[in-house]
Amino acid sequence: MLERDADNSISSFSGTLALWIIDFSIVQIGIFGLLALLLIGIRKTITGSVQLEVLTILGLFLFG
């Protein structure tokens, strides 16, 4: 009985931790997305930036 309770608390803790990590990475993506938009405004000549712009806009729609 004690082992089962310990397993349940460990799994609920790891589930909470996973949600927290996901929330944190969404916030991080939002911050990096804004920084990327600023950088793209400065440097549009680099081809990678055009791809990054598309990804950033998609990211803002998905996570914003």
Q: Can you give the pLDDT of all 64 residues of the chain as single tens digits?
A: 445 555 556 566 666 777 776 676 667 777 777 777 777 666 655 555 566 667 777 777 676 5
Report yes or no on 41 lying in a domain.
Answer: yes
Number of domain units in the chain: 1
Average pLDDT, the chain: 66
Report yes or no on 12 lying in a domain.
Answer: no
**Longest CA pairwise span in the chain (Å):** 64
Report yes or no on 18 lying in a domain.
Answer: no
Report yes or no on 34 lying in a domain.
Answer: yes
Phi, psi torsion values for 45, nearest 5 degrees: -75, -25
Tell me the residue range of the domain where 54 lies.
Answer: 23-64
> What pTM was estimated for this model as a whole?
0.28
Report yes or no on 28 lying in a domain.
Answer: yes
